[in-house]
Homo-oligomer: A and B are copies of this chain.
Amino acid sequence: MHDPVRMDAYRTAIDENKDNFLGKVVLDVGCGTGVLSIMAARAGARKVYAVETNAARYARKLVGAHGLEDVVTVLECCVEEADLPEKVDIIVSDFMGHFLLQESMIDNVILARDKFLKSTGAIYPSHCKMFLAAASSSRHGESRVEAHHESLEEFDEVKDYMFNECEIDLTCLSDVYKDEARELALHSSCSVHLEANELLGPPVAVKEIDLLTATHDDVKGVSQSFCIDLDPSMDKEKRRNFDLWVGWFAVQFNGSPDNPSLVQVECDTGPYNDETHWSHEGFIVHPPIDLTGASKVQGQIEMTRKKANWRLYDVKISHRACSGEKSGEEVSKTYYLK
């Protein structure tokens, strides 16, 4: 998908730090069509190993079309199976999923680092941050709630029909159906593209990852308390209608302590910046909360991998509105990240 924000970040991070690539050995984890590998080779890398499963043949084609087959070797395998003849100086990877971790390849990057990166090596990008913000976005919140009500109405329609036409009473399944419908509509996250003016206050960082040192355990999830300072100048109507938590991420290209980037680049996928192909992850607050009179929202986010499928997450957000020393009732909800 076309995403100039992402591409500009990688291109600038590599092009503006050519000194760090000159004569180096690079590993591209999940190289796709090989674009980052080509950039690394052109920046002066002595050797690039491009590891890819699905698109390896396209990567080979593109590398060949640019006359770089002597520098870039495409390996059609997953990184666990990759066998490189040497350690590498730099890992490059476009591994990030929505809200960073959703279906991301971050584990593969850590695995590749432990297996192949020299102790002085660098990872591009080097750091990740996950952000959470409170928002008022009736266009997203209300449409979910409406869809939920429609599905409940549809059940009632079926129930009436079955009772009147077939003398079968579905009442005993009402609760089960309603719970499942609620789960689907209100406890699943939704992909949104938020506008900055929908935020009720500045975002908070709920996770920071240094890819040079993070362990697999570190990227398993999020567990962080937070405090959001509400913007006092916020539109009153919006403040009365806090209906969405929203999460996104940013990555930084800082190089490594031994080989810092001369030009540091950041790719922030949040609503203050140009839209990217990564969506913002929305978590519906229903019923909406009136934050009139509150000055902040204190809370806790717990994001954990599902046991049944470690690529899927549950996200529990607990929060209460506060004003001075008074604090409101705690609201807690677990969402399925999808």
Chain A residues close to B by CB (< 8 Å): 1-2, 4, 7-8, 11, 33, 35, 38-39, 42, 58, 61-62, 64-66, 154, 157-158, 161-162, 165-173, 176
One complex includes copies of this chain to the number of: 2
B residues in contact with A162, CB < 8 Å: 7, 35
Kindly list 18 other residue pairs between chains A and B, CB separation below 8 angstroms, not including A4-B161, A35-B166: A2-B161, A4-B165, A7-B161, A7-B165, A8-B165, A11-B165, A11-B166, A33-B173, A35-B162, A39-B166, A39-B168, A58-B173, A62-B168, A62-B173, A64-B172, A65-B169, A65-B171, A65-B172
A168 touching B4, Cβ below 8 Å: no
Q: Given A35-B166, A162-B35, are A2 and B61 also a contact pair (CB < 8 Å)? A: no
A176 to chain B, nearest CB (A): 6
A212 to B93, CA, bound (A): 58
B residues in contact with A65, CB < 8 Å: 169, 171-172
B residues in contact with A176, CB < 8 Å: 58, 61
B66 touching A168, Cβ below 8 Å: yes
A139 to chain B, nearest CB (A): 24
B residues in contact with A42, CB < 8 Å: 167
13 A-B residue pairs with Cβ-Cβ distance under 8 Å, sorted by A, are A1-B154, A2-B157, A2-B158, A7-B161, A7-B165, A11-B165, A11-B166, A42-B167, A61-B176, A62-B168, A65-B169, A65-B172, A66-B169
Q: Given A2-B158, A35-B168, are A61 and B7 also a contact pair (CB < 8 Å)? A: no
Considering the complex, give the chain B residue whose CB is closest to the CB of A166: B11
B residues in contact with A158, CB < 8 Å: 2
A38 to B169, CA, bound (A): 11
A11 to B168, CA, bound (A): 11
A1 to B158, CA, bound (A): 8
B residues in contact with A61, CB < 8 Å: 172-173, 176
A276 to B4, CA, bound (A): 44
